[in-house]
Structures are given as C-alpha cells and as structure tokens.
Amino acid sequence: MTRFLIRRLAILLPTLLFVSIIIFGLQQLLPGDPAIAMAGEERDPQAIADIRAKYNLDKPIWVQYGLWISGILQGDFGESIRIQLPVSQLLLEKLPVTIELAFLSMLIALLIGIPAGVISALHNGRWPDYVANVIGLWGLSTPNFWLGIMMILLFSVHLGWLPASGYVSPTEDLWGNLQAMIMPAFVLGTGIAAVFMRHTRSAMLQVMASDYIRTARAKGLYERVVIGKHAFRNAAVPVITLGALEFGQLLSGAVLTEQIFSIPGFGKLIVDAVFNRDYAVVQGVVLCTATAYILLNLLADIAYFLVNPRLRT
Amino acid sequence: MMRKTAFAALAAVMVLGAGTASAQTLKFGLAEDPDALDPTLARTFVSRLVFSALCDKLVDIDPNLKVVPQLATEWSWSADNKALTMKLRPNVTFHDGEKFDAEAVKYNIERHKTMQGSQRRGELSAVTTVDVVDPLTVRLNTQAPFAPLLATLTDRAGMMISPKAGKALGDKFATAPVCAGPFKFVERVAQDRIIVEKYDGYWAKDNVHFSRIEFRPFIDATVRLANLRSGQLDFLERLSATDAASVQKDNKLKFASITEIGYYGITINIGKSDKSKTSALGSNAKIREAFELSLDRNGINKVVFDGLATPGNQWVAPNSAYYAKSMPVPKRDVAKAKALLKEAGNINPVVNLVTPTTTDASKIAQVVQAMAKEAGFDVRIQATEFATSLNMADKGDFEAYILAWSGRPDPDGNLYSFHGCKQPLNYSGLCNPALDEILNDSRLTTDIAQRQASWNKAAQIVLAERPIIYLLHRKWLYAHNAKLTGFKEYPDGLVRFAGMKM
C-alpha cells in the first residue's frame, strides 16, 4: 500500500508539468488576441501595447510559459487581465463554492442513485425496476438548463420558497447558503444519480448471480447481510471509479448550472475567462481542476483497497 | 415516510429563512460581471453602471444629452476654444474624507493620460496640460480647439478618484475604489456581487434614498427576470425584448425603455486591406447601394428586436437632435437594387458577412441574408466568436462585418474614430480627405449649429460611400419592482441612483 502510494505520488509532478504544457499550448491556439479583447470598444493602440507589455504577451511563448510556471512555483498564478485581481484570489474565492456544489450534488446523486440501482437490481424485471429505469432515463436525458429554469419558475417565481439564484456564503448565513444551493445541487445531482443508478444496477445484477452469493444464502445469512455486506461491497468498486470521475468533473465547474443559478464557481469563471481571452485565469482554473482530478483518482484507488480486500495482497 | 417528513421540515425551515433583506437595499441585476472598477482602466458598460453609484463626474448629461453640472458647477471656453475653464463644486469630499479640489482634477486627468493600460488616453489626447487656477477652478488646455472634450467628461474620463487612494493603491485601485459618488465601495466578490453603501458625506446626500446597493450579475436574461419576479432583485438592466410584453402586463413590475446613443450596422471593407479589391461590396459603390436597398430595417427590427429598436441610417438615431434630417431612412426597394446590380454587371454578388456569435448579431445576419437574397445577393454568414471577429476587423480580414457601437453623447464619438482616415476604429478603411476636413472642422467650434452643419455635410459623404450601412438603434430596456419610483431613463443607458426610492 505504502509503496503503491509513493509510486502514485511520484508520477503526480511530471503529470502536472505535462498538463501545464498542454494547457498553455492549447490556449495559444485559440484565435483572438487577449490584448485586443481587453482593449474594449475604443481600442486605443497605446492601451493595447500597454496590456501586451504588462502581461508579457509581447514575449515569445516559451518565455511566457517560463514566467508563468516559475510564478506558480512561488504561489503566484498571475493576474486576471479582465478584472485585474490576482488569479490565486479568484481561485480561492471560487474553489470552496465549487467544492460545496460538487459535494452536495454528489450527496444527492448517491442518495438517489445507489438505492435506486440496488432496488432496481433486486427487483429485476418487475415494476420497481421499471420505475427506477424511467426515473434514471429522465435524469439522464433532461438538460440541466431546462430543469434549472423550470425549478426556478416553480420554486422561486410561483411558490416563492427558494431564492431564484445567487450565492450566499455558509459562513454568513448557513440557511441562506443551503437555500441557494439546493436547486443547483439537485439539478446536477439528478443527472449523476441516473448514471450511478445504471451502473449500480448492472454491477449488482452481475454480483447477485455469482456463486458466493448463493453460498452466503445457503449458509442462512440474513438477506440484509447478503446484500449489504457481500453483494454491495463487490458491486461498489466500479461505482467508486465512476464517482471519482464524476466528482472530478463537478470540480471542473458545472458551466450551465452555475450560469443559470448564478453560482460563482469554477464553471462561470472559466467560461468568462475563455471568452475574454483571460489566459492567466483559464490556466489557473484548468491546472487546479487537473490536480483535483489526479488526486481524486488516487483517492479512488485507495478506496478500492478499503472495500475490496482481495486487492490488498 | 421518515425521509418525506425530514424533507418537508427542511423545506419549511428554508422557506422561513427566505427574503429578509432590508427595504433600504436596492438589489440590482447586471447582465454581466463588470471588469476593473477603476475609471481609468474600465471598458465595459456594466462597470459604468456600477460607477454611476460610486464615482461622480465633472459633468453629466440630461435625458436630452445636454451637458449639466455635477462636480463642476459651471464652465466656459476661451475665445480661441483652446481652454476649458471649470468652476468646481465646493465642500465635496471623496469617500476617504479627502477634499475634492482643482488639484484632484489635475491628478485625475493626468492619471487618465499617463497610467499604463489607460483606456482614457485616446479620449483625452487633445488635453495638453491642466492648470490649477485656484482651489476651485481648473483649466484644461488643448493644443487645438476640441469641442467634444466637454461631452467626454460626462463619462469615465470625467470621473474623479481620490488622489490619496489612487497614489496608495496604484494599479490595484480597482480592488478598493474611492471616488466622490453617492455610494462608497464595500466589497466585491468577482462574478457574485459588488456591494456599495450610502456615503454620508455626499454633497447631495438628501437625494439619495437607499442605504445600500447590491449589484449581482445574471448573464441569462430569463434568469435575471425570474429573480426580479421572485423578489431577489428590485431592478434589472437589459431586459430581453421578448420579455417586454409580459413585464408590461405584470402589475408588480414596471417596464422602461429609451433609444440608445449607439447603433448596429454592417461595416464594409472598402479599403482596409486587399480583400476590399476582390470583394464585390468593397470594390463597387453601386453594389453597396443595392445591398442597402435590399434591406428592410423595419423588418429586421420586428424579427430581431420585437419592434423595440429604432431603425436608422446614420450614426445617431432619427429622433436625435443631431440627425441629418435631409437624409431620411431609405425604403426597401428590391427592384432598384436588382437594377443597380445589373448596371454593376454582377447580378449575384457573394457577400461574406462576418457575424459575432451573439444572439442579436446572429439573428440580424440571418434576416439580412434572407432579405438580400431577394435582390440577388448570396450572403454567406461567417459566424465568428466576438474577440476573434474584432481581430479580423482590425486586420481587414473581412468583407462585411456586423458590429454594434455603444455610442457617445457627442456625435463626434460615433463618427470621427470610425470614418477619419486611419483612425483606430476605422475598420472600413475609408480615407476621404474632404470628409477628414469636415470632421476636423466640426471639432473646432463649440457652436452647436455650426457643428451640425459639418455633420450634415459628413452625412452626405458617408451615406453615399457606405463604409458602414447603419441599420438600427437598440433600446435600453429595464424592468423594476413597481414599488420603486424616481427612475429616469437616459440615452447613455446608465442609471442615476440619486432620486430613486422604494
């Protein structure tokens, strides 16, 4: 286990370095000049030249990369060209929001998806299975922006129960925060719940048909123990992988959902940054997300060890 | 059952906690997140909306675009029109308690002119020096007479920041702006909120009725409106034209609108690059005329803007005092367009139309394509993301380009940079010495009748050459809580918070 962890951590740095080169390189392929995009309507040539000089855009690309990466090693992610605030400040502001939204969405997805998958597998071919399938398909096929707007119209405009959108920090007002987050988390969570449900169902079906389940039942174990301890733990392995990937995706920001509910997370940040050619922000967000992805995969691997004793040898 | 009960309890608690904001707070919905909150560096419309609360200007405009006092109470031009002397309002302080005086004006104008990355340098390029005549009198000297200067000071170039804060924060001023407006800066969380609160030392504080304004960006117009309807917002800017009817019917809301000082038009490359020589539109004025005649501006207005824009053919709207009335909006005439194309010897010209991917521009392009087709034009829409399209325009890598301009109170701001030879916004590449002379003349005098005569002459040249085919002028559309009173529309689209109350 320790050797495995050390090995995984050792490849973390080169992976991140590779990711940073890719991010930097790909971004340069974007058409449009950040200085011109920033110079606004008036497009004063002197202002454009100033922006180029201030943000090193007039230097060769490898010099720009070198300056950026050496800044990051010292904790300086650069400055947003558009709003002229340090990127690290923006990341620190948005990261907790994105993590909270990801966490709540994941919670909703797990609470709906896993029980629905298990129930559906246990009642394979009967009505609970069909109901779970229909709900699952609905969750998968409903576009987030549509569901989001419908929920706003119902719960905010007509019923007036929840704020339509906007974000309240939990440190300021915990209830306000939950009120603001429940709809976006639900919208995101239902989509993922459907994926969980489908995967849990098929994994459970496979496991339930295996010999050791029959043995466990023959031993006279309670059905609760057979399902909970023997079947589900084995079926959980693919679901954990999936969970890590989905969580990683949530951390990269849920663009549409954040836009609709005006949640100031990574998704909104990166979309605005791409449109405004705010390179430093795009780079900062992508690097942050890539790191989160890699770490989550590592955590998923550790989780395998915990749920599946066979992997520990 | 347990779970159901728990959910109901959670929902009930959430409902109880909802909507307890103070009545003194104005919750204002913006269409996007503003850029840097520094008047020298800012370049977006939304940042100007926030500045309306934060930063007073030397002068302002009234709803008829007339220049009126704000931080300067009176002004006069020297006999040779090369110096603008302004008397400043006494007893004005910045939000940090510093005094506003002639030294502060000098500092601000010089900061606008010299700061790295300044977006105001071009606007103030005519100003050579600033003299402090006495603590409450300042004189702006120009190399040559420059009539648009006064109108320039009604916008960000005329906004005054506290010199003490400006010096202390340098290029980080946007993180904690200190001005002399009715509200002072409290905090900004990027993409989430900007909060300002009433400044008790404001010179006209009796006319400020809100204790706080919360600006929140909501990019999606439907969501912005949903927030207004549910009470999360009290006011929103840039209502979607398609929602205007439903807002008007809703007795809890109020609708307001005013024609902008900007325009939507199609810029044609007639000399910016070699592309103009190979393009049918760029190389032949008759084909350009035919193209304009093939378009029905009222039709575009109805389809794209639900009839809420004002069709126009000049850089100012037909209802503007500066409109050249002798040259009204031409009617659509497909037969004449066809005849002109025949005369030009090209009955099916191809037009590559660069179109930014914004909703309005895309819709305009589609309508233009369908209309021009009836006259024989083969319009090919080149949908291009906005920043890229600007780059293309700058390099002359286009034949025709749909572009909007937000407009300036002085018509010079809609005209000079676009049609003056080699000016920074002259994407069409028009270079006409006679026009340049007229445009320069219009800047020499402050007499509005003489300037209007110059603009009329300019209109004759521009409308015949068609470097830009002006299409229409949008309206600024607003919706607000019906309880809110005192809101007045201004053609610059900005909101004056003084006088508004709920």
Tens of pLDDT along A89-134? 888 888 888 888 999 999 999 998 888 888 888 888 888 888 888 8
Across the interface, of A94, A161, A262, the residue whose CB is closest to B218 is A262
B354: left (phi over 0), alpha (psi -120 to 50) or beta: beta
Distance CA B476, CA B256 (A): 8
A53 Cβ contact list (under 8 Å, min separation 6): B116
* B171 touches A at CB < 8 Å: yes
* B38 touches A at CB < 8 Å: yes
Per-residue confidence (pLDDT) for residue B12, from 0 to 100: 46
Range from A246-260, B87-101, B109-123 that averages highest in pLDDT: B87-101
CA distance A154 to chain B (A): 10
CA distance A73 to chain B (A): 23
Q: How would residue B401 be classed by pLDDT, with cut points 50, 70 and 90?
A: very high
Across the interface, of A43, A152, A176, the residue whose CB is closest to B223 is A152
- Dihedral pair phi/psi, residue B285, rounded to 5°: -65, -30
DSSP for B213-261 reads EEEEE--SHHHHHHHHHTTS-SEEES--GGGHHHHHH-TTEEEEEEE-S
Q: How would residue B21 be classed by pLDDT, with cut points 50, 70 and 90?
A: very low
pLDDT at position A36 over 80: no
Would you call A142 helix, strand, or coil by DSSP? coil
Domains of chain B: 24-55+181-259+477-502 (3.40.190.10), 56-161 (3.90.76.10), 263-473 (3.10.105.10)
pLDDT at position A56 over 90: no
Distance CA B195, CA B27 (A): 10
- Please list every residue in chain A whose beta carbon sits closer than 8 Å to the beta carbon of residue B231: 160
Per-residue confidence (pLDDT) for residue B60, from 0 to 100: 95
- Token pair for B35: 């850029």
Per-residue confidence (pLDDT) for residue B367, from 0 to 100: 95
- Please list every residue in chain A whose beta carbon sits closer than 8 Å to the beta carbon of residue B193: 166
Per-residue confidence (pLDDT) for residue A224, from 0 to 100: 79
Query: What is the rounded average pLDDT of the residues B188-203?
Result: 91
Per-residue confidence (pLDDT) for residue B19, from 0 to 100: 39
Window from B21-35, B211-225, B280-294 with minimum mean pLDDT = B21-35
With CA atoms as reference, the chain B residue closest to A179 would be B14
Q: How would residue B258 be classed by pLDDT, with cut points 50, 70 and 90?
A: very high
- Please list every residue in chain A whose beta carbon sits closer than 8 Å to the beta carbon of residue B190: 80, 83, 85, 90, 93, 264, 269
Taking alpha carbons only, the member of A22, A23, A25, A52 closest to residue A37 is: A52
- Please list every residue in chain B whose beta carbon sits closer than 8 Å to the beta carbon of residue A150: none
Cβ separation A182–B36 shorter than 8 A? no
Query: What is the rounded average pLDDT of the residues B482-490?
Result: 93
Q: How would residue A10 be classed by pLDDT, with cut points 50, 70 and 90?
A: confident
Calculate the average pLDDT of chain B.
Answer: 90
* B417 touches A at CB < 8 Å: yes
Per-residue confidence (pLDDT) for residue A264, from 0 to 100: 84
Query: What is the rounded average pLDDT of the residues B349-370?
Result: 92
Query: What is the rounded average pLDDT of the residues B345-349?
Result: 91
With CA atoms as reference, the chain B residue closest to A79 would be B172
Tens of pLDDT along A165-221? 778 888 888 888 898 899 999 988 888 888 888 888 888 888 877 888 888 888 877
AA letter at B13: V
% of chain B exceeding 70 in pLDDT: 95
Handedness of CA A267, A256, A272, B476 (dihedral sign): negative
Query: What is the rounded average pLDDT of the residues B22-50?
Result: 87
Across the interface, of A47, A152, A276, the residue whose CB is closest to B117 is A47
Query: What is the rounded average pLDDT of the residues A238-245?
Result: 81
Range from A134-138, A253-257, B26-30 that averages highest in pLDDT: B26-30
- Dihedral pair phi/psi, residue B470, rounded to 5°: -70, 135
Cβ separation A43–B424 shorter than 8 A? yes
B453 Cβ contact list (under 8 Å, min separation 6): none
Tens of pLDDT along B283-341? 999 999 999 999 999 999 999 998 999 999 999 999 888 899 999 999 999 999 999 99
Query: What is the rounded average pLDDT of the residues B202-224?
Result: 90
Tens of pLDDT along B436-449? 999 999 998 888 89
CA distance B334 to chain A (A): 34
Taking alpha carbons only, the member of B236, B277, B241 closest to residue B253 is: B236
Residue B132's alpha-carbon distances to A1, B71, B135, in angstroms, are: 76, 15, 7
- Pair B467, B307: CB distance under 8 Å: no
Window from A74-83, A177-186, B163-172, B347-356 with minimum mean pLDDT = A74-83
Query: What is the rounded average pLDDT of the residues B270-286?
Result: 91
User: Which of B:182-211 have CB within 8 Å of A?
Assistant: 189-193
Q: How would residue B1 be classed by pLDDT, with cut points 50, 70 and 90?
A: very low
Higher per-residue confidence, B210 vs A204: B210
H or E element, residue B72: strand B72-77
- Dihedral pair phi/psi, residue B203, rounded to 5°: -65, -25
Tens of pLDDT along B409-455? 899 989 998 999 988 889 999 999 999 999 999 998 888 899 999 99
Cβ separation A47–B118 shorter than 8 A? yes
* B218 touches A at CB < 8 Å: yes
Distance CA A105, CA A267 (A): 15
Would you call B115 helix, strand, or coil by DSSP? coil
Q: How would residue B10 be classed by pLDDT, with cut points 50, 70 and 90?
A: very low
pLDDT at position B20 over 50: no
Tens of pLDDT along A127-165? 888 888 888 888 888 888 888 888 888 888 888 888 887
- Please list every residue in chain A whose beta carbon sits closer than 8 Å to the beta carbon of residue B13: 175
Range from A169-183, A262-276, B43-57 that averages highest in pLDDT: B43-57
Distance CA B49, CA B37 (A): 11
- Please list every residue in chain B whose beta carbon sits closer than 8 Å to the beta carbon of residue A261: 223
Q: How would residue B168 be classed by pLDDT, with cut points 50, 70 and 90?
A: very high
Per-residue confidence (pLDDT) for residue A42, from 0 to 100: 67
* B177 touches A at CB < 8 Å: no
Cβ separation A37–B387 shorter than 8 A? yes
DSSP for A79-133 reads B-TTT--BHHHHHHHHHHHHHHHHHHHHHHHHHHHHHHHHHHHHTTTSHHHHHHH
Across the interface, of B14, B174, B190, the residue whose CB is closest to A90 is B190
Per-residue confidence (pLDDT) for residue A211, from 0 to 100: 82
Range from A40-44, A168-172, B275-279 that averages highest in pLDDT: B275-279
pLDDT at position A37 over 80: no
pLDDT at position B343 over 80: yes
Calculate the average pLDDT of chain A.
Answer: 83
Q: How would residue B14 be classed by pLDDT, with cut points 50, 70 and 90?
A: very low
- Please list every residue in chain B whose beta carbon sits closer than 8 Å to the beta carbon of residue A46: 118, 121-122
pLDDT at position B502 over 80: yes
Q: Work out the burial of residue B444: count CB atoms within 10 Å of its CB; fewer than 13 is exposed, 13-18 middle, 19 or more buried.
A: middle
Cβ separation A45–B424 shorter than 8 A? yes
pTM: 0.81
Taking alpha carbons only, the member of A277, A222, A258, A148 closest to residue B218 is: A258
What is the number of other CB atoms lying within 10 angstroms of the CB of residue A282? 23
What is the number of other CB atoms lying within 10 angstroms of the CB of residue A142? 16
Chain A contact probe: residue of B4, B7, B10, B43 with most A CBs at under 10 A: B43
Q: How would residue A253 be classed by pLDDT, with cut points 50, 70 and 90?
A: low
* B388 touches A at CB < 8 Å: yes
- Please list every residue in chain A whose beta carbon sits closer than 8 Å to the beta carbon of residue B27: none
CA distance B133 to chain A (A): 30
* B223 touches A at CB < 8 Å: yes
Per-residue confidence (pLDDT) for residue B232, from 0 to 100: 87
AA letter at B242: T
Query: What is the rounded average pLDDT of the residues A283-288?
Result: 87
Across the interface, of A178, A260, A272, the residue whose CB is closest to B14 is A178
CA distance A152 to chain B (A): 7
Q: Which residue has the tokens 């100007």?
A: B48
